[in-house]
Amino acid sequence: MRDFTYYAPTKVAFGRDAVERTGALVREFGGTKALVVYGGGSAVRSGLLDRVCACLEAEGIGYVTLGGVKPNPRLGLALEGIGLARKEGVDFLLPVGGGSVIDTAKCISYGLANEGDVWDFYAGKRKASAGMPIGAVLTIAAAGSEMSNSSVITKEEGMIKRGYSSDFGRCRFAVMDPQLTMTLPAYQTASGCVDIIMHTMERYFTKEPDTMLTDQLAEGLIRTVMENARVLMREPDNYNARAQVMWAGSLAHNGLLGCGMAEDWASHQLEHELSASYDVAHGAGLAAVWGSWARYVMAEKPERFAQYAVNVMGVALGADDPAVMAEKGIRATEQFFREIGMPTNIRELGIELSDEEIEELARKCSNDGVRIVGGFKRIDRADMVKIYHMARG
């Protein structure tokens, strides 16, 4: 087990009608004028935005709004938000939405609190030294941005999608009412469930020994999400299933399941190029590449995949050699993805990749051949090409 620092400072207001606490929470964390950030309209249609604004008014907190955040959020809108917030004298950021909306608010926060070009942080050129306070009202259980230290933004020029992680971007509070997620289309619910599972797996697939507690937390979390994802495909209004998945989404990505582990994240990097170039839902993109990644890296430590197969996917512990058990676990996971309507290869995502397009994805993912990703197995540009080929379908 590795040494670690665990830091999860976000205050969580969880449960039915937790939204009503939003204004008081903004006040508690010092906000006097908020920039309310939202997406393409779901929060308007559901009446959530009006409820949030009414809460702010009840607390005497001023606000301005910025809508139009797209999934796989773009730098341009964040820059617009930085300008608007400066002009309006905003001192608090209040995203109302999912990962894309929260990540846009994080980018705005860095832009407001630091001099210079905010993209520098995402390009890895320098680090932020401050952030304007953020509190989130979450509407989809998926990215985990409400408790994570990361944000992922796409720069329109070249469609480059990059993440930046900093504790200055962590939300001061997160309002999580599982009822808010009941309006999600089934595809988004399923895609979110995959993302939650993948945030757990990216940490779980490690060669680090002696990680029993974190392993068991991770295994339990994945089983919980799989079971409740199946329930939600039949009963989208099931409060308990919504609640289990929503809380799992935060715990999967707030650092808890990384404690003591050596993390991987190759599947995420491979996926980010897909969603940057083809604008697919992030979780669906992960489902499309994961099986190929798993088969490509499995030989590094088949016992780890065999443990996953038994403890998570319920594969019987037999006399099989670990590689056989591992393959059974990967297949069972792909079967689960199909059950909830998720793809298991890139063709099923609706993308027909040519050889040239695969080369281009690998070029971008490897930063022109200089970036190596992954921890379970180090993945370079040539490996990326092979995995994309396997995942092409």
Q: Are 267 and 245 in contact (CB under 8 A)?
A: no
Q: Is 271 a binder of Zn ion (CB under 5 A)?
A: no
Nearer to ligand NZQ, 147 or 309 (CB): 147
Looking at residues 165 to 224 of the shown chain, list those that interact with ligand NZQ (rule: CB under 6 A): 180-181, 183-184, 188, 192, 195
Side chain identity at 292, as an amino acid letter? S
Residue count of the chain: 393
Strands, E assignment, the chain: 11-14, 33-38, 62-66, 92-97, 135-138, 150-155, 160-165, 173-176
Looking at residues 26 to 45 of the shown chain, list those that interact with ligand NZQ (rule: CB under 6 A): 39-43
Q: Is 353 a binder of ligand NZQ (CB under 6 A)?
A: no
Name the segment binding ligand NZQ (CB under 6 A); options: 51-59, 76-84, 136-144, 287-295: 136-144
Q: Residue 151 has what DSSP assignment?
A: E
How far, in Å, CA of 247 to CA of 177, rounded? 10
Q: Is 255 a binder of ligand NZQ (CB under 6 A)?
A: no
Q: Is 140 a binder of ligand NZQ (CB under 6 A)?
A: yes
Exactly one of 151, 206, 244, 267 binds ligand NZQ (CB under 6 A); that residue is: 151
In 3D space, the residue among 177, 217, 136 whose CA is nearest the CA of residue 18 turns out to be 177
Q: Is 152 a binder of ligand NZQ (CB under 6 A)?
A: yes
Nearer to Zn ion, 103 or 195 (CB): 195
Looking at residues 171 to 210 of the shown chain, list those that interact with Zn ion (rule: CB under 5 A): 195
Q: Residue 160 has what DSSP assignment?
A: E
139's contact among ligand NZQ, Zn ion, none, with CB below 5 to 8 A by partner kind, is: ligand NZQ
How far, in Å, CA of 187 to CA of 106, rounded? 26
Please give the backbone phi and psi of residue 343, each rounded to the nearest 5 degrees, phi first: -75, 160
Give per-residue burial for 280-296: e unless 16+ CB within 10 Å, then b.
Answer: bbbbbbbbbbbbbbbbb
Q: Residue 204 has what DSSP assignment?
A: H
Looking at residues 287 to 326 of the shown chain, list those that interact with ligand NZQ (rule: CB under 6 A): none
Q: Which residues bind ligand NZQ (CB under 6 A)?
A: 39-43, 71-73, 97-101, 103, 139-140, 142-145, 148, 150-152, 180-181, 183-184, 188, 192, 195, 253, 268, 275, 282
Q: Which residues bind Zn ion (CB under 5 A)?
A: 195
